[in-house]
Amino acid sequence: MKVLFVHPRGSNWLGGMKDISSIFNVMPPHGMMSIAAYLEERGIGTDFLDCYATPLPHDLLVSEIIRRAPDVVGFSCTTSSFLEGYRIAELVKEKAPELPIVFGGAHACSMGPSLLDSFPAIDYLVIGEGEVTFHELVAAGFRNVGDIPGVAYRKEGRGTLSAPRDLIEDLDTLPFPAYHRLPGFPGRYNLPIFSYPKAPNTSIISSRGCPYQCSYCDRSVFSRGFRFNSPEYIVEHLRFLHRDFGIRHVFFYDDLFTFDRQRVARFCELMAQKRVPVTYNCIARLEHVDAELVALLKGSGCWQVNFGIESGDPEVLKKHRKYYGLDEVNKKLLMVKQAGMRVKGLFMIGLPGETELSIRRTIDYALTLPLAEINVTKFTPFPGAPVFRTIREQGEFTEDWPAMNCLNFVFVPHGMTKEQLEGLYNEFIRRFYHRLPIRWGYTRMIWKSPHSVAKVLRNLPEILSFGLKQRW
């Protein structure tokens, strides 16, 4: 038995422009890698076609899928990559009609069994965590699928969910992800440029779920609970990556790496005791930050901390997430910066209820913060997010799945226009990055992140060509 996993690229750039995102960032498909490792541990062979790391035209990709002769093909798709994944599945079905096609990932989980009613080339959906469900589905030879929790299948021609799958209680029982199945790992994969000091590097995930209730977050795969790997497991994961792949820096892609203080403290202690030669970035919530936590992170090799600030308008924040006083944000960020770690702010534009005035408050506020870098996303209402249920009541929403990648304004709040949003977005980026301290900070990256500089220089013609098309 062999399972071939396909990771469709989808649209990951601005509409109408060449996608050069892989120059800046290619991250491993963690969900598929974890499922593959779980299957291999139980004697099932796996293979990968990652279209982010190795893009192929559809005809060549389909030919390669058929050539590898799998017993089942599994797709993992976001909302923006779903239709491309489905087109590939259709083409595979034309050549191998009996080959089972299974879809999973955020879009399948958020849309649910009804996807099967409109997309006949898909045979099954894995709803929720995939490790146990996918294994049971394959091990059963796709028989009696109604008895396997977490599977959507067709019953009397209609998409039906077998039963909800219980969450995996102890994440330490899972093997390390199947990095060895990724073509070109780690060289073909890299974190966002200028967001790491060393290469090779990669990302890892050490927890699942989130107990908070932000309006814009999709929790359809891992639910609202919070489960995590033990500090001992995480440290061994890092040691494995360093020993087997030479990894020198990682990004903890957890939503809430710092949520459990005891776990963080023990992790930092073990990193020092075992002298793990790997530095890291993480995401932290502002309410978790204090002098003790900052000292722990710095002492264990943390290089950069990312914070979800989202907006500089108190009323917008109160509407969409747990409110944290803006007056305290500067103090917390400054504490991290003064400890010697880089600080990155994450913002969002175009949330329901926003106006030009509230967005300008966000821009002005961001310029007062001690940030080395920002990431500004264009609000996208994903099907699994709480806000999706009423999104059409709050503005104009164009449910164009390929464009739903946080890089296009598919939603426009009441009282605003798309042109306004684009102009404010461009103004935000321009005003932040055109300041002398920020430019000087990137100049210093010549010795702080030399691999990033080399990557930019190698791809300079494409970057410049893209930059000339921007209004800013």
Describe the crossing of helices 231-245 and 261-274 by its angle, rounded to 10 degrees.
40
Task: Output phi, psi for 208, to 5 deg.
Answer: -140, 140
Q: Residue 200, preceding bond cis, omega within 30 degrees?
A: yes
HEC readout, 311-372 = CCCHHHHHHHCCCCCHHHHHHHHHHHHHCCCEEEEEEEECCCCCCHHHHHHHHHHHCCCCCC
Rounded to whole angstroms, how far apart are CA atoms 225 and 45? 31
Q: Which pair of structure tokens corresponds to residue 321? A: 């997430």
Peptide linkage before 113 cis (omega within 30 of 0): no
Angle (nearest 5°) at CA 202 between 290 and 309: 35
pLDDT at position 462 is 64
Please state at what angle helix 436-443 crosses helix 418-433, rounded to 10 degrees. Answer: 60
The residues facing 411 across adjacent strands are 397
Longest Cα–Cα distance of the chain, Å, equals 65
Sign of CA dihedral 410, 416, 422, 428: negative
Q: Which amino acid is at 384?
A: G
46 with 36: CB under 8 angstroms? yes
The predicted pLDDT at position 468 comes to: 42
**β partners of residue 204:** 252
Output the pTM of the full model. 0.93
| pLDDT score for 322 | 75
Residue 224, pLDDT score: 66
pLDDT digits (tens, 9 = 90+) for 297-310: 999 999 999 999 99
State the CB neighbour count (10 A cutoff) for residue 95: 11
Query: pLDDT at position 20, please?
Result: 58
Q: What residue ranges define each of the domains in the chain, with the CATH number in brackets?
A: 2-161 (3.40.50.280), 190-467 (3.20.20.70)
Exposure pattern of 391-403 as b/e (b: 16+ CB <10 Å)?
beebbebeeebbb
Nearest to 192 by CA among 461, 451, 7, 8: 451
- pLDDT digits (tens), the chain, 472 positions: 999 999 998 765 555 555 656 667 789 999 999 999 999 999 999 999 999 888 899 999 999 999 999 999 999 999 999 999 999 999 999 999 999 999 999 999 999 999 999 999 999 999 999 999 999 999 999 999 999 999 999 999 999 999 999 999 999 999 999 999 998 899 999 898 889 999 999 999 999 988 787 888 887 776 667 899 999 999 999 999 999 999 999 999 998 899 899 999 999 999 999 999 999 999 998 888 999 999 999 999 999 999 999 999 999 999 998 767 788 899 999 999 999 999 999 999 999 999 999 999 999 999 999 999 999 999 999 998 999 999 999 999 999 999 999 999 999 999 999 999 999 999 999 999 999 999 988 888 888 888 888 877 777 776 665 454 444 3
Give the model's pLDDT for residue 114: 95
Q: What is the per-residue pLDDT for 38?
A: 98
CB atoms within 10 A of CB 61: 20
